[in-house]
C-alpha cells in the first residue's frame, strides 16, 4: 500500500467573472514509505497548487478541488473534517514552504513558533515544549539555540529562516515531508547545506519526501523518482536514472538540454524552450505543450487529451505522437 495516493486531482481557481480556471488537471501521484519523489516543471505549471491541495491549504474561497481523491494511509483527506485535517498537518505530514519569510509570523519569536508545534500536536506543557524546541533548533544547525529562540524572523538570514521552517516541519517526525522549492532563495553554498540537512533528517526519521523544484540538478542529487509537470498535468514520470538517460517527452528533453554542462564550449549559448507557459484561459484541451513544440501537431492532438502510457517498466509518458518518443504499441 502506498503511503500517499493521488488520483485524478483537478483543482481550479475562480476568476473575477465567476469562471473556474483549471490549474491542476487530472494529476495522479503515488509515494511509498521512505521514497523521495521530485515534482518538476517551470513556474506556473501547477506544482505548488498540487502541494497545497494535498493539505487542503488552497486560498478560500477562490481555490477549489473539483474532482479526485487524496488517499493518505488509504483514507481520503478530502472526506475529512477541518479538525481531522488539522490533526494531520504538522503531525503526520510536514510542509516546508517556498518562502520562509512569508511562512513565519513576523510578530512572534521563532522559539514561540516552534513551541506551537509541540503544544498543538504533542500536548506538552510550555517548559517541555521549549526543551524540545531547543533540541530541534540544535538538530537543524542553529547556533546558540537558547539565544536564537528569542529572535524574530527578520533578525535571521535567509538560510537560518529556512532551517527554522525545516525544524517546524520535522518537529513531530512526520511520515511525509512536502518541500516546496526549499532552496530557491538561497545561494549555492547554503542550498547544498540545506539539502544535506534535509537528507540527513529524512534518513533519521525514515520519512517520505515530496520535493517540488524547477532544479533538475537537485532532483538528480536527492530523488528516487521524478514526475515532470506541464500545464497542470504530469507529462512524464520515471525513476531518476531512466528519466535522465532516456527522456521520452519533448518538454522533459527541453528541460534537460537547458542544463549547463562542463563539456560545453566557453560562452556557448544554452538551448532554450521557446515561448512561455500559456495562461490558464489559453490552455489546449489536447496536448498542452503543442504551442511551444517544434513539431507539427495534427488537429486531433490539439483537441483530444493524449493518454498517459507506460512505455517501459515504471516509465510513463503522455503519449502525444508529436511530443513523445513512442513505439507503435504505445498508441494501440
List the domain boundaries for the chain: 232-260+269-332
How confident is the chain (332 residues) per 10-residue block, as mean pLDDT?
92 90 94 94 91 92 93 94 92 88 91 94 93 93 93 92 90 92 78 82 86 89 94 96 95 89 76 85 90 90 93 94 75 46
The pLDDT value given to residue 199: 85
The pLDDT value given to residue 58: 92
Nearest alpha-carbon partner for 6 in 289, 246, 210: 210
d(CA 114, CA 293): 47
The pLDDT value given to residue 164: 92
- 283 contacts: CB under 8 Å, gap ≥ 6: 22, 231, 232
The pLDDT value given to residue 327: 66
The pLDDT value given to residue 329: 52
3-state secondary structure (DSSP) of residue 315: strand
Strand ordering across the sheet containing 225-230? 93-96, 176-180, 208-213, 36-40, 225-230, 233-239, 315-318, 308-312
The pLDDT value given to residue 331: 47
The pLDDT value given to residue 332: 46
Residue 10 contacts residue 72 (beta carbons within 8 Å): no
Residue 226 contacts residue 240 (beta carbons within 8 Å): yes
Residue 169 contacts residue 161 (beta carbons within 8 Å): no
Residue 98 contacts residue 158 (beta carbons within 8 Å): no
Amino acid at each position: 500500500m502506498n503511503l500517499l495516493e493521488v488520483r485524478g486531482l483537478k483543482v481550479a481557481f475562480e476568476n473575477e467573472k465567476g469562471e473556474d480556471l483549471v490549474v491542476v488537471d487530472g494529476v495522479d501521484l503515488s509515494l511509498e514509505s521512505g521514497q523521495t519523489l521530485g515534482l518538476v516543471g517551470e513556474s506556473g505549471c501547477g506544482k505548488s497548487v498540487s502541494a497545497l491541495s494535498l493539505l487542503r491549504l488552497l486560498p478560500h474561497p477562490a481555490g477549489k478541488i473539483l474532482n479526485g481523491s487524496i488517499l493518505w494511509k488509504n483514507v481520503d483527506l478530502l472526506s475529512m473534517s477541518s479538525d481531522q485535517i488539522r490533526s494531520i498537518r504538522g503531525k503526520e505530514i510536514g510542509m516546508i514552504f517556498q518562502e520562509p519569510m512569508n511562512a513565519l509570523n513576523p510578530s512572534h519569536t521563532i522559539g514561540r513558533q516552534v513551541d506551537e508545534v509541540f503544544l498543538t500536536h504533542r500536548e506538552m506543557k510550555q517548559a517541555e515544549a521549549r526543551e524540545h524546541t531547543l533540541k530541534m533548533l540544535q538538530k537543524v544547525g542553529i547556533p546558540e539555540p537558547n539565544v536564537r529562540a528569542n529572535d524574530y524572523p527578520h533578525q535571521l538570514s535567509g538560510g537560518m529562516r529556512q532551517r527554522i521552517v525545516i525544524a517546524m516541519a520535522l518537529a513531530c517526525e512526520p511520515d511525509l515531508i512536502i518541500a516546496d522549492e526549499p532552496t530557491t532563495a538561497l545561494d549555492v553554498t547554503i542550498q547544498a547545506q540545506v539539502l544535506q540537512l534535509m537528507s540527513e533528517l529524512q534518513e533519521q526519521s525514515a520519512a517520505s519526501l515530496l520535493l517540488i523544484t524547477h532544479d533538475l540538478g537537485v532532483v538528480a542529487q536527492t530523488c528516487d523518482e521524478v514526475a515532470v509537470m506541464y500545464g497542470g498535468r504530469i507529462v512524464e514520470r520515471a525513476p531518476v536514472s531512466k528519466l535522465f538517460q532516456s527522456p521520452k517527452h519533448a518538454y522533459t528533453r527541453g528541460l534537460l538540454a537547458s542544463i549547463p554542462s562542463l563539456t560545453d564550449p566557453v560562452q556557448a549559448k544554452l538551448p532554450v524552450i521557446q515561448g512561455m507557459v500559456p495562461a490558464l484561459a489559453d490552455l489546449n484541451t489536447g496536448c498542452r505543450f503543442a504551442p511551444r513544440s517544434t513539431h507539427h501537431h495534427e488537429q486531433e492532438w490539439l483537441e483530444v487529451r493524449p493518454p498517459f502510457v507506460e512505455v517501459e517498466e515504471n516509465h510513463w509518458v503522455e503519449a502525444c505522437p508529436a511530443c513523445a518518443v513512442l513505439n507503435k504499441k504505445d498508441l494501440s
